[in-house]
Structure formats: C-alpha cells, structure tokens
Structure 1
Amino acid sequence: MPRTKADDAPSILFINQHYWPDLASTAQHLTDLAEYLVDQGVDVHVLCSRGHYLSGSMDVPAEETRNGVRIHRVRATAFGRDSILGRIIDYASFYTSTLARVLAGPSCDYIVTLTTPPLLPLVGAVAQALRGQAYGIWSMDLHPDAEVAAGMLAEEGLPARLLHGFNNAGYRNADFVVDLGRHMKRRLRDKGLSDDQLYTIPVWGVEEDVSPLPHDENPLRSELGLKGKFVVMYSGNAGRAHRFEEVLGVMEQLDGHPDIEFVFVGEGPQKERIERFAGEHDLSSFRYLPYFPREQLKHSLPLADVHLMTLREEMAGIAVPGKLYGIMAAGRPALMVGPEASESAETIRGYDAGHVVDPRQEDDPEQVLHDTLLALYRDDKKCARLGDNGREAFLDAFEREVCCEAWTQLLRGQLQMKTPTAAPMEHETPA
C-alpha cells in the first residue's frame, strides 16, 4: 500500500474496479495516468479487483508492480455485465472490500476514486471523516443520474433519493473533482459543488496506439474481407446511454448496397437488440465483432471510413463517450446521433471533425443520418478533410501527454509539490 513516512515521494492511491490488463475504458485511462505519474516522481498505487469488465476473473496476482505502479487487487465477485443483479453484487463486494482495505491500511497523501462502481467516491468521504484522508474524484460518469436517465430508477423514488444523497455527499466533501466537460460540470454545480472544486480534463487517446493508417496498409481489411468496402463502424460499448433507432433504420435502408458495410465492435446491454434486429430484417451488410485488444486498435479503428457515435438526450453531461478521441486519433470522421448540447457534439462541431444529427432538431433524423452518410460515402475529399481536422485537434487537446500533464499540474497543486518551472494549473483544459 502507500508509502511510509520515511519516503520522500508524494503518494497517491487510485481506486477503480478495473485496471490493467482489463480492457475497460476506465482501466486503460487509469493505467495511462498512473504510469505517467510514476515518471513524474509520484509513488502511485492502484486498488482494483481481479474481475474482468465483461465477466469472470482475470488470472492476475493479488499484488504486483508494473511499470512502477503498485497494484493491489481485492477479493470481489466477478459475475460481469450480463445481468443487472450480477453487476450489483460485483459492485457491493468490491465496495466493501475496498472500504475495509482503505480504513485498515497505511495512509497516503491522496486518494483519488473513479466512479466504477457507483458510490465509490463515498469511500473517500468515509476515509476523510474517520482518518482525515485527503481525496479527490475522477468523475467518469454520474450516478445514480445515469440509472435515472435510463429509466432503471424513478427520479422521486426512495432508492434514487438515497443514492443521490450518498453520492452527493461523496462529491461535496472532495478536495477536487475532475469532470469531463462543461455539461458534466454544470450538473456537478447543481449538486452543490463549487467552482473551486471543479477541474475539466477530458479523457484521451494515445498517439502511438492509433494513427491514420491507409486502407491498403491495414491487414484487417483483408482478414475481414472488407477490401473495397466503405466501412461504417460502431466501436465500443452499446450501452443504455446510447440510442440506435436511427442507426438501425439506416442499416435497413442501405442493406444490399454493393459498397457499404456496417461493422459493430464490442459488447454491451444493447448488443442483443442490435443483432436481433439484423436477424429479423435479414441484413446482409452487417457484422458484430468482439472487442479488439488495445494493441490491435492501430488496425481496428482506422479500418473504418466513418465512425458512428450515439447518445441519448437525457444522458448529456452524465456520460461522455471516450470513443470520440480514438476516432479522432485514427483520422476518421465521426457521425454522431445525439444532442447538440453535449461534450461530444460540441467537440465534433467545434473542430469540424464530423457531423452531428440531433433527433430533437430534425423532423426526420433517420433520413438526415441516411443522407449524411451517403454524402460522406460519395465525397472522399470531405471524409479526408474531416478526419484530418479530427487528428489535428486530437494531437492538440486530447492526446495522452496533453491530458496527463494537466493531471500532473492539478496534483502538484494539491500535493504542494515543489515544481517552480511548472505552469499554473487552469480550471479548464482545451476542449
């Protein structure tokens, strides 16, 4: 666990259900940040589980050090994401094991909790109350806001009100909270957080992981039989935060097109619905592939000509899909179905990196999506220009080095590290 008093390096304990070698987005981003901070001279520890993001346990040790990060894995169930009950049990077992470990283990300079599982920030609040522990929150999403927006909990019901109360207590008592954009920041202000607590740092992609690979140099094109195809890809979690009505309608409209192929990659609660729709309508220009390992993203993301993104209106500011930054890194245009007033849509439009179809702004959003997609299919130069814009913006504002350095500056201020050459930390990073 964290350092002893004899050590000079400042110590940070990150807590999240997932970490390397798991493929969850939060695991990958936390791994990037933890290893970056080690290079900055920080004594970094991570408290996580052995459970795989999808289901089952990983064959990993309870304690190990990787790239300077000391990893501590607590015992927890691993039913995975196949059922709501299984996820709740996993969350509860991880939460109780983590709280016991934090309260019984050595202290550290800072705890930083992520938001998987829900209510995890409350661990920091309890440690603060009982041990005087300083803590911050990396707010990857908002709970139970997401469950209420998805219709899983009634807004005025007792469970939602209790969860809001517990979660808000965790947030309000934090020394700092890192949000993912101005719409999430607005929601956090509504929960009673002050501007002095809030810092915006987006999640990121990695320049070395993904670049704009030409189709004729991509081995996956041949392996998957996609040479000569215009590939429309949805890559990532098909979750309850996402909407697929318009996407499925366009897939049906364009089925049988000689050049256009729809490729879905990943898992999620809506995968079964999407595959069932494809089967019921006998779609021939569609396939669903499992997640690619991180080391294959350099081939899988540039495989597409256009990447799809979706977000439900009520999820704006609650969930911020990190997949956008991989799309931008690959130099491909993003075609989003979702609210204009959201972090992702404003990034796409602000950098001219694709198109946004807002269902509440269009009389026939499915037809607009159809026509926009065909326009991109017919205009190679426009696709290339939008992709180039995205790649340039990615390198400028959403690459790992840029965002992890913003984190470093924030933590320097919190830890009062002596870094006279460091630029002052701002409350906003480029977005």
Structure 2
Amino acid sequence: MPKIHIINQYVWPDGSPICIICEQLTEYLTNQGESVAMVGGGGEYRPSARPKPNIELVSLETKAYPRDTYLQILTEYFIVFKMFWKYVRRSVKEGDVLVITNSPFLNIFLRYAVFKRGVKSIFIMFDYFPASIISLKVPHIAHKIIKWWWDRELNKFDNVIKVSSNVGYEGPNAVIKRLWPMIDIKPNPDVAPKKMALYTGNLGITHDVEALVKECYILQEKGYEVNFYADGPGLEKLPAQLKPSVKGVFKDTPSLIKALYEHEIHLITGTIGTDESSFPSKIWNSLASGRKVVACGFTGKMKLELDFILASNYTAHLTEMASFIKEQAHK
C-alpha cells in the first residue's frame, strides 16, 4: 500500500486553518484504511487548545521565529523547507504519494527531492503566490516572469488541487476541491444573536482593509457593535475609531463557537489588486453557524466564487477532496 505524506508548515498543536484542514484530511484518509502521515515544522502560528488528533504526526525540529518582519518570516520558511527536504529524501519511497500545501511557498520545490523515485505529487493550493505578491509592488515585468515560472512548476505536479475557483492557475492538471467547516458547529436556534458584527482570524497585508473599514462604519451607523478577534499587519491600517474593537485571536474552539453564535453578522474581506490570490476559509465556519456573511471588497472571480459557495453543499467537501487523493494514490 502506498503511503501518503501530507506536508504543511505546521502541525498540531497549531490552530491555523490550513493545519486543521490537513489534519482532518489525514484523519479521514486514515479512517478509510490508508497509510497517512501528516508532516510539519515545530513552530506554531496560531495558539490552539484542541486535543491531539489520533493520527500519525511527524513534527520536525524547527525553530519558530517571531513574524514581525519579512526577514524573520523568510528565515523560518527556509529552515522549515530545509527540514522538509531532508524528510522527503529520507522517508518518501517509490510508489508513495506526496501531498504538499503551499505553506510555505517554497514547498513547490519539494517534488524535486524525489522526482526520480516514481512518487506521485499533489499540490494543494490555498493561495496563488504570483497574485499574493502583487501588494508588494513587484515590477510588472518581474511579476510576469514569476507568474510564468510558477505556472510552469505547478504544471509538473500530477495534480494541483485548488480550494476555490478564483485561485489562479488554469493548467490541465488543476481540479477544484472546496473546503469545509473546520469546527463542529451547526445552526443553533436556542442562541439568539446580538446586534454585533464579527471579524476573525488574520487581517493581512493583502486584504482590502479599506473596504472592510467602510462596511464597519456603515454597520456602526446602524447600531452594530463591531469586534475584531484577529491578528496580522492589516490591523495597523484600522482607523482610531475601530482600534478599541480589536480583541486578539481566540485561543480555544469553545470561545470561537460562542462568538460565532453571538454575532449576527460575520465579516470577510477581499484582496487588494487581484481576485486570484485566495478565498477566506473562515466563511465555512460562518455558513455552518447559520449567521449572515457580509463580504467586503469582493469583485470579479471572488464575487463569482462567493455566489457559488453560498449555494454549495459543504457537508460533502471533505469526502470529495479525500476521495480524490485516495483515487490518485491507487492509480
């Protein structure tokens, strides 16, 4: 039986969305009788108090750096990638399946560690690197070269799983397999929402903070209390009027669930200058809670994807992605 190696920057006890998604994929495939290991670095991006999952976890010894500067972030990326390369060279055998996320972006090179071993390679793309660097003001010609090269590298994988239709790359090996709620939550008619609006998770440098702020002002004028349980450099762009609304990220799942139920409106925001970068994964928890989702700054492909998601049956998504990986593993 081929072994499936799912590689992501972080593993438990990290509580970031990509980590939890990979964890749930690993658990589902393991329960289906597959041989699966989830592999990640020893750092932690987002605190989490959830119990250790009953899966094979490989936590590599890497140093976690503060994420205050680009240099610190890139340093951690290179250290994690170096350990991943060593793991793949040592542990991934002929006939195995290498499932790689784009966290960190350097993972796109990992297929070269075993490209002569007959290993199947699957790249799960949560965000599209050429689009995610647009906000860094990369010169136009340099950006075109990066996009051309990135797409060429993606085309070398057996499969590229896009988690939303708007995410860039349209190669022949691309398939769309959408995400799902990462916590156990469903509409609860016993909890009446308060007149509050909620933003959770990361507010990064690529997010459309201006559109988000405009919506917050509109909601405040209508009498809503706006709360940011968030982190990220985008918080620095919030005006003084909204600074008191910043509460910090949730450190455990029960607190997140309580807030999702209590807030009548859940806010998500688009990205600056592109509709191909990513799609906010927090929407799936919000939809499962039964609360209203208000999207800020969504245009083009992101708006089309939003309309599709609002009408989708997310309960089947985990099974669909896991089944696709299982099918590729046994081809």
TM range (shorter): 0.7 to 0.9
Structure 1 residues 120 and 167: alpha-carbon distance in aligned structure 2, compared to 1, 3 A threshold:
farther
Identity value in percent: 20
Structure with greater Cα Rg: 1
User: Which position in structure 2 is the counterpart of 1:241?
Assistant: 206
| 1:315 counterpart SS class | coil
The 5 Å alignment of 1:23-422 reads 23-54=15-46, 66-67=53-54, 69-107=55-93, 109-124=96-111, 126-147=112-133, 149-157=134-142, 160=143, 163-164=146-147, 167-184=150-167, 187-189=168-170, 193-194=171-172, 197-206=173-182, 209-214=184-189, 217=191, 229-252=194-217, 259-274=223-238, 277-278=239-240, 281=241, 286-312=245-271, 314-343=273-302, 345-350=303-308, 393=311, 397-399=313-315, 402-416=316-330
Higher strand share: 2
User: Which is bigger in relative contact order (C-alpha 8 A, separation at least 6)?
Assistant: 2
| 2:88 counterpart SS class | helix
Supply the distance in 1 between the matched residues of 2:154 and 2:12 (Cα, whole angstroms). 26
* Structure-2-length-normalised TM-score: 0.88
Supply the distance in 1 between the matched residues of 2:158 and 2:242 (Cα, whole angstroms). 54
Structure 1 residues 183 and 254: alpha-carbon distance in aligned structure 2, compared to 1, 3 A threshold:
closer
Supply the distance in 2 between the matched residues of 1:241 and 1:325 (Cα, whole angstroms). 20
Structure 1 residues 313 and 89: alpha-carbon distance in aligned structure 2, compared to 1, 3 A threshold:
closer
Judge conservation of contact 1:267–1:291 (CA < 8 Å) in 2: no
Supply the distance in 2 between the matched residues of 1:202 and 1:336 (Cα, whole angstroms). 18
Structure 1 residues 156 and 304: alpha-carbon distance in aligned structure 2, compared to 1, 3 A threshold:
same
Instruction: Kindly state the Cα deviation for residue 328 of structure 1 after the two structures are TM-superposed.
Output: 0.5
User: Which position in structure 2 is the counterpart of 1:367?
Assistant: none
Instruction: Kindly state the Cα deviation for residue 117 of structure 1 after the two structures are TM-superposed.
Output: 0.5
Instruction: Kindly state the Cα deviation for residue 91 of structure 1 after the two structures are TM-superposed.
Output: 0.4
Structure 1 residues 230 and 156: alpha-carbon distance in aligned structure 2, compared to 1, 3 A threshold:
same
* Structure-1-length-normalised TM-score: 0.69
**Number of residue pairs aligned between Structure 1 and Structure 2:** 328
Structure 1 residues 73 and 170: alpha-carbon distance in aligned structure 2, compared to 1, 3 A threshold:
farther
Which runs of 5 or more residues in structure 2 are unaligned? none
Instruction: Kindly state the Cα deviation for residue 132 of structure 1 after the two structures are TM-superposed.
Output: 3.1
Backbone CA RMSD of aligned residues: 2.8
| 1:289 counterpart SS class | coil
Deviations 1:146-176 (A, max 9, x none): 11x212533423xx56754663343111111
Structure 1 residues 247 and 165: alpha-carbon distance in aligned structure 2, compared to 1, 3 A threshold:
closer
